[in-house]
Amino acid sequence: MNDIELSQAQRDLLRDRLSKYCAETFDLELEQFDAEFFVDFIAKELGP
């Protein structure tokens, strides 16, 4: 399975939105590094 291709700007936006979502929904604070790994995981698992 291939990864979803994201520009750096898209990755940054997704990372920030994911961090905000986790904080608001789950009261879970993701550090930037953790959120970037989460974005990588999502791109890999949901890729075409």
Task: Give one DSSP letter per residue of 1-48, joined into a string.
Answer: -PPPP--HHHHHHHHHHHHHHHHHHH-----HHHHHHHHHHHHHHH--
- Residue 24 falls within a domain, yes or no? yes
One digit per residue, pLDDT tens: the chain, 48 residues? 567 889 999 999 999 999 999 999 999 999 999 999 999 999 999 887
At residue 1, the pLDDT reads 56
Residue 1 within a domain: no
The pLDDT, as a whole number, for residue 47 is 83
What is the domain extent for residue 40?
Answer: 8-46
User: Which tokens belong to 8?
Assistant: 């750096």
- Within a domain: 12: yes
Residue 2 lies inside a defined structural domain of this protein: no
pLDDT value of position 48 = 76
In a domain, 34, yes or no: yes
Half-sphere exposure of 9 (CA within 13 A, CB side): 0
Domain membership of residue 13 (yes or no) is yes
